[in-house]
Structure 1
Amino acid sequence: MNIKITGTGCYIPSEKESNSAFLQHEFFDSDGVPFDTPNETIIEKFEAITGIAERRYAKTELNTSDIAFVAAENAIKDSGIDPETLDYIIVAHNLGDVNHDSIQGDIIPCLAARVKHKLNISNPKCVAYDLIFGCPGWVEGLIQAQAFIRAGMARKCLVIGAEILSRVTDRHDRDSMIFSDGAGATVVESCEEDCGILAFESASYTRDEVGYLFNGGSYNRALPQNIRYIKMHGRKIYEFACIHVPQAMKECLDKSGISIDNVRKIFIHQANEKMDAAIIKRFYRLYNKPVPPGIMPMNIHKMGNSSVATIPTLLDMVKKGEIEQQSVHKGDVIIFASVGAGMNLNAVVYKC
């Protein structure tokens, strides 16, 4: 039995926020000390490192489960399935529904249940649950879906990655410029074709690394410190990712039996352009190979980092010809890879 993605869909918020919007922000360091560096310089360095020139924010009336639903509808339409035949709906996110002008996450009921409700699915055997796994959540959902199908517990699964991070960022933290909103979805089914998931790898590093991403108070000490925002130790994450993600990708590829020369695309979590490029370079170095041109599609420049949504939205956009000079074709071998809070990481080798 082979297990493949039969439909993709995404929701890209219409609200664009360019880097110039941060010129009037007052940035502080983690000790609460204002930076002496002008914002123009801070933003220029930020863009040079991350590659982010603008990001997308959800409209105030929308929530994470709303944009997850739209992405799901698009994926279901693309696959051509009857939603009543779904056995599982898996929604990867990290913060739940966060209302505009609020920073409290709402996950009761879970987002997957809300998406199922919005899809108007009446089948009670369609099980809906949420997956909290940091940025690698959508990839992990894909891994779980194939496990359900392979075990005979399911025939069709809907895997969604959705996040609205713009509502949980500290406007006084430079890292707030990284985060964005979005949703991507995929329908996963069994098939008899020579395609689908060939191998996967997952890991959680929690002994020393568990606090690399966390919730913390505003860097502006004049603000209430009991209100929590998404925070990260960027340098530690960068070093962790560059060491562990290439190795996980190699272990996954070796497990699949596919030669590195046959890999056509690598869809990596769009976290930071410089970090992603370093990961890919180190991955190919493990095989004593140069990085092939065009191997890594990117949309971070216009989309920012939408956590669990980056890979499924990127996949959908490439499939539909929306990323310049990037495409995937039947028979292509691709790799999905991600790293994030936990610290969790994973990889999947997939044949289109």
Structure 2
Amino acid sequence: MQIKTIISGSGHYLPENIVKNEDFFQHAFMDESGKKLEKPAQEVAAKLEEITGIRERRYLSPGLNTSDMGYFAAARALQDAQLDPEKLDYIIFAHNFGDVSARYLQSDMVPALAARVKHKLGIKNPNCIAYDLPFGCPGWVQGVIQADYYIRSGDAEHVLVIGAETLSRVIDPHDRDAMIFSDGAGATLHSALKSEGDVGLLSHKTRTDTVTETALLYMAPSHNPSYPENRIFVKMNGRKLYEYAVTTVPGVVKEALYKAGITLSEVKKVLIHQANEKMDEAILKRLFRLYGLREIPEGLMPMSIQYFGNNSVATIPILYDRIIHQQMEGQELSSGDVVVFASVGAGMHINAIVYRMP
């Protein structure tokens, strides 16, 4: 009998505050030189929706923070699995900015957000190790990969992986890219299963490119030269990032499938980081072309970016949890189905997992 890593529970949290595209119509958007865009904000928002698919996003209320969302998602995942929190061996919290309170607007990562979640869960077990994982948008996927290593080595039986981010507090109100980002949290519980079957996490692949790619996502002052200089915001080179992702992600997914001994035709769902609808569609098309295929099955790649925006590390676990709990019309997963999880983000990092539903 071999030890396999399966997802035994999942949960997510989305803020109640819905911000629609029309809420940006009064914004004064500027370019990198500080010059106001000639196009009106309404036209800018319409173009962004055409490219990314985003119609609305969620922003966290002032009284809550990233660790709170992580806790809410984690508690739901544990309840879903009906697991006593004291039995957790690890808590891995993927994020990039820590807690950024609405009052201070400064990253707070001491103590680690994973430790804060462990505290909120009331876990007394000192052998439950809680740590954070800053890995760009692919952080949750990388956390799952680490959980698999712990479980298959016999070091752990249950690992909780959380992905949460409050991007609404690190975006430049004068940068049109601010409309892309949002807030949210997702969590999955990964457990050991003794089985001879081809089940659970079958393979994974991670790649990091830094020679010319590190500046595709970065932190910088506001586009507005009159904005206080003591603030920096998340920025991106959208076109270069798009080109990098479309060129590189398909090969990483193909390599993960090859390692698992799985053909593309066997894949039931591709759950990819919800960064840009057109970019994700282009990635999927490029992946199929690598196999000499052009016909993509309908419903293969579910999308949630239209309503939730890009909440970084949280996009994939939120998407997975909503499908598992039948909250997405026409989307479902059953025992034996093969799922690909894939992400790309700051670093630049790319990773992919091939998983068979138990």
- TM-score range with shorter-chain normalisation? over 0.9
Residue 113 of structure 1 contacts residue 128 of structure 1 at CA under 8 Å; is this kept in 2?
A: yes
Residue aligned with 1:347, SS: strand
- Matched to 1:264, the amino acid is K
Residue correspondence of structure 1 range 184-203 to structure 2 within 5 A? 184-193=186-195, 194=197, 195-203=199-207
Q: Is residue 242–residue 278 contact of structure 1 (8 Å, CA) maintained in 2?
A: yes
Partners of 1:25 and 1:101 lie apart in 2 by: 22
Aligned equivalents of 1:131, 1:341: Cα separation in 2: 13
How far apart, CA to CA, are the structure 2 residues paired with 1:52 and 1:101? Answer: 28
Equivalent runs, 1:1-352 vs 2, <5 Å:
1-193=3-195, 194=197, 195-289=199-293, 290-352=295-357
Gaps of 5+ in 1: none
Aligned-partner Cα distance in 2 for 1:205–1:43:
31
Mapped to 2, the partners of 1:69 and 1:170 lie a distance apart of: 27
**How far has the Cα of 1:88 moved from its partner?**
0.3
Q: How many equivalent pairs are there?
A: 352
Q: Any gaps of 5 or more consecutive residues in structure 2?
A: none
CA offsets 1:91-138 (integer angstroms, 9 cap, x no match): 000000000143210000000000000000000000000000000000
Asked whether the equivalents of residues 65 and 115 of structure 1 are also in contact (C-alpha less than 8 Å), the reply is yes
Q: Deviations over 1:2-59 (max 9, x none)?
A: 1110000000111100000000000000111111111111111100000000001111
Contact 1:102 1:167 in 2 (8 A): no
- Cα deviation digits, residues 228-266 of structure 1 (max 9, x gap): 001110011100000110000000001100111110000
Q: Counterparts of 1:89 and 1:278 in 2: how far apart (Å)?
A: 34
Post-superposition offset of 1:192:
2.4
Q: Is the 8 A contact 1:200 1:348 kept in 2?
A: yes
Following the alignment from structure 1 to structure 2, what is the Cα–Cα distance between the partners of residues 44 and 29? Answer: 17
Q: Deviations over 1:211-230 (max 9, x none)?
A: 11111000000112331001
Aligned partners of 2:75 and 2:241: how far apart in 1? Answer: 34
CA distance in 1, matches of 2:87, 2:174: 47
What is the one-letter code of the residue matched to 2:173?
A: R
RMSD: 0.7
